[in-house]
Structure 1
Amino acid sequence: MLEPLSPSPQVIEIEAEEQAKVEWLHSATDESFAAFDRGEGVSPSSAGEIDTFVNDAIEEGRAPRRTTRA
């Protein structure tokens, strides 16, 4: 009978990175829903306000981020 193949170190690393992304997304989702439940958030009243909010978020995403990692 054939032995099952073990994943390569690269595959193990990729899977760990993907798991970390899933855990981060889960945490961010929990935080977002908790903020919504507390009544925090954005309540745009026009299409222009939505456009402004989205454009600001896009620009914020392009800004360099500071990290606390060494």
Structure 2
Amino acid sequence: MRSLAVLVMALFGGFAGGIVLNAVIAITSHMVFGGDEDGLKGLKYLPFVTSAWYAATLMIWRPRPEFEQ
């Protein structure tokens, strides 16, 4: 049950991080290129990609309890 809670928190955290990263990239692109945002079409999917990336990274690197024999 703890794994599910950690996974859900990683998904929410990754989604929030993706939204922030999306905004930073969009604002920086607008300032640098002067409003030409033709190259940013895939940027709207960034929160979903980062949430899946955070969840996968968490499940791979999360320390697992050792079983005693």
TM-score when normalising by structure 2? 0.45
In terms of Rg, which structure is larger?
1
Task: Name the structure where helix makes up a greater proportion of residues.
Answer: 2
Higher relative contact order (CA 8 A, sep 6+): 2
